[in-house]
Amino acid sequence: ETGVTQSPTHLIKTRGQQVTLRCSSQSGHNTVSWYQQALGQGPQFIFQYYREEENGRGNFPPRFSGLQFPNYSSELNVNALELDDSALYLCASSHFTTGPTDTQYFGPGTRLTVL
């Protein structure tokens, strides 16, 4: 069974640029969630994708957008990067359920630095 993978591992961008982060979900999972983890904080929910559509969003501006592909992999796009976007971006996959029991399994993260 293949776990959640993310690419790239590290990324350095400058303010105003755009970035795309990628995530491959664990086999058998159909849902992908993205989280932002600033230094010294717990992860914050950005959004979730299910059936190639956004299925819920946290308190993040529209310049954070995403995609999910038919193979359940996903991309997180951030436009007009700001210094505060520097963080660890975590992708988590799960199997969609209608109860609060689905366990999310995380990838190793992408560390984004905005200069």
Partner 1 sequence: AQKITQTQPGMFVQEKEAVTLDCTYDTSDQSYGLFWYKQPSSGEMIFLIYQGSYDEQNATEGRYSLNFQKARKSANLVISASQLGDSAMYFCAMREEEHTGTASKLTFGTGTRLQVTL
Considering only 15, 61, 79, 102, the residue that binds partner 1 (CB under 8 A) is: 102
Residue 46's alpha-carbon distances to 1, 2, 27, 56, 78, in angstroms, are 26, 24, 22, 9, 11
Considering only 25, 26, 36, 43, the residue that binds partner 1 (CB under 8 A) is: 43
Binding-residue pattern over the window 1 to 30 for partner 1, x denoting contact by CB under 8 A? ------------------------------
CA dihedral 77, 82, 83, 89 (to 10 degrees): -20
Least separation, in Å, of the C-beta of 104 and partner 1?
6
Binding-residue pattern over the window 74 to 93 for partner 1, x denoting contact by CB under 8 A? --------------x-x-x-
67 scored as a contact of partner 1 (CB under 8 A): no
Query: Within 10 A of 42 (CB to CB), how many other CB atoms are there?
Result: 7
For residue 43, cis peptide bond before it (omega within 30 degrees of 0): no
Query: Within 10 A of 54 (CB to CB), how many other CB atoms are there?
Result: 13
Q: Which residues are near partner 1 by CB under 8 A? A: 31, 33, 35, 40-45, 47-48, 55-58, 88, 90, 92, 94, 96-109, 111
